[in-house]
Structure 1
């Protein structure tokens, strides 16, 4: 519950940030390394996946063994912002490879 409250305010600011990167500011973003330390130390979350956006931003997903998860958006300069978080993260097994029978 504390995690939800902690990240809820950051997430709201992050949506404004995502809509207008030029107006983002130090108020909503921290250095990526600082956010990662918080996720690891307070929530036992580690990086599970990531994807590159066309404008060189990286969307990263962190999750813990107990199911908490956090998505952060990292900028080319190293700043990052929490864009979403939640509970009950589930990792699906890989899908079949090759042509369907």
Structure 2
């Protein structure tokens, strides 16, 4: 649901080479967060620092749809990957 809906929305799309990540979708961070939370009923499931200026986020919904977002210090967020069937697993001991 997230993947299909975002492809046609207001977000700026930049085409890339024919790869599994065919498009990168960007918007101001506050708009991206609002869209993910309110329209798609997603919540931030995980975060991690990529660099001092970049935070990686994984957003998921109850159906298992997911989006990986890069949040930049300058105030823009970009969806760099999205898919279905997100599953939380335990690390083996």
* TM norm structure 2: 0.71
RMSD, aligned CA: 2.7
Equivalent residue number for residue 7 of structure 1:
6
CA distance in 2: counterparts of 1:76 and 1:68, whole angstroms? 26
Is 1:31–2:28 an aligned residue pair? yes
Q: Secondary structure at the match of 2:33?
A: helix
One of 44, 53, 58 as aligned partner of 2:41: 44
How many residue pairs match? The answer is 84
Greater strand proportion? 2
Larger Rg computed on CA atoms: 1
Greater helix proportion? 1
Q: Secondary structure at the match of 2:3?
A: helix
Structure 1 spans left out of the alignment, 5+ residues: 17-27, 97-101
